[in-house]
Structure 1
Amino acid sequence: MVCSNTADEDQPQVIGASQPVVAVLGCDVVLPCHVEPCLDVEELTVEWWRPDVPPDPEDPQSNYRYVHCYHDKQHEENMKKPAYAGRTEMFTDGLKHGNISLKINNVEQSDQGRYRCQIPQLGSASVIMLLVEPCSVTPTDPGDLQTPEPTDETDAKGGRLYLSVLILGLFACVLLIPAVGVGGYLLHRRYRNQNQN
Structure 2
Amino acid sequence: MFDHQNPSYYLRTRLFMDGLMTGNVSMKIFKVKVSDTGRYQCALPSLQKEASIQLIVAQSDVIGSDKPVTVTVGDNAILPCHLEPPSDMTTQTVEWTCDKTIVHVYRNRKDYLDLQDENFRGRTSVFHEEMIRGNISLKLTNVTELDAGSFTCNVPKLQSQVRRGFINLTVEPEESRNKGGQTDDIGGGTGNNTGVITGIAFGVIAGIVALAVLWMKRRNRKGQEREYLPPQSDNAKAIPLE
- Both proteins in one fold, TM over 0.5: yes
User: Of the candidates 81, 96, 101, which is equivalent to residue 117 of structure 2?
Assistant: 81
Q: Which residue of 2 aligns with 1:12?
A: 60
1:113 corresponds to: 149
CA deviation vs aligned residue, 1:46-68 (integer Å, no higher than 9, x gap): 000013x5xxxxxxxxxxx6100
Aligned match of 2:168: 129
CA offsets, 1:119-156, max 9 Å, x none?
001151011100001221135xx6xx9xxxxxxxxxxx
Partner of 1:34: 82
Cα–Cα, structure 1 residues 5 and 34, in superposed 2: closer, same or farther, change >3 Å? Answer: farther
C-alpha displacement at 1:7, in angstroms? 4.2
Aligned pairs for 1:22-61 within 5 A: 22-51=70-99
- Rounded Cα–Cα distance in structure 2 between residues aligned with 1:44 and 1:34: 13
Equivalence for 2:192: none
Query: Counterpart in 1 of 2:6?
Result: none
Name the CA distance, whole Å, in 2 between partners of 1:50 and 1:69: 12
CA distance in 2, matches of 1:5, 1:98: 14
* Deviation for aligned residue 1:72: 2.7
**Deviation of 1:5 (Å):** 4.9
Q: Supply the distance in 1 between the matched residues of 2:119 and 2:146 (Cα, whole angstroms).
A: 9
Quote the Cα distance in structure 2 between the aligned partners of 1:100 and 1:6.
19
Q: Please list every run of 5 or more consecutive structure 1 residues that lacks an aligned counterpart in the other structure.
A: 54-64, 146-197
Q: CA deviation at 1:16?
A: 0.7
Structure number with the higher strand fraction is 2
Could you say what secondary structure the match of 1:132 adopts? strand
User: Take 1:119 and 1:66, find their aligned partners in 2: how far apart are those partners?
Assistant: 14
In 2, distance between residues paired with 1:87 and 1:29? 10
Please tell me the residue identity of whatever aligns with 2:112: E
What does residue range 125-164 of structure 1 map to in structure 2 within 5 Å?
125-135=164-174, 136-137=177-178, 138=181
- Give the conservation status (yes or no) of the 8 Å contact 2:109–2:128: no
Equivalent AA in structure 1 for residue 149 of structure 2: G
Identical residues among aligned pairs (%): 34
Deviation at 1:79, TM superposition (A): 2.1
Q: Deviations over 1:91-120 (max 9, x none)?
A: 000000000000000000010010000100
How far 1:23 sits from its partner (Å)?
1.2
TM-score (norm 1): 0.60
Note closer, same or farther for the CA distance 1:79–1:6 as it changes in structure 2 (3 Å cut): farther
Letter in 2 for 1:21: V
Question: 1:21 & 1:45 partners in 2: Cα distance?
Answer: 24
Give TM-score, length-normalised by structure 2: 0.49
Cα pair distance change 1:80/1:68, threshold 3 Å: same
Instruction: Indicate how the Cα distance of structure 1 residues 133 and 121 shifts in structure 2: closer, same or farther if over 3 A, else same.
Output: same
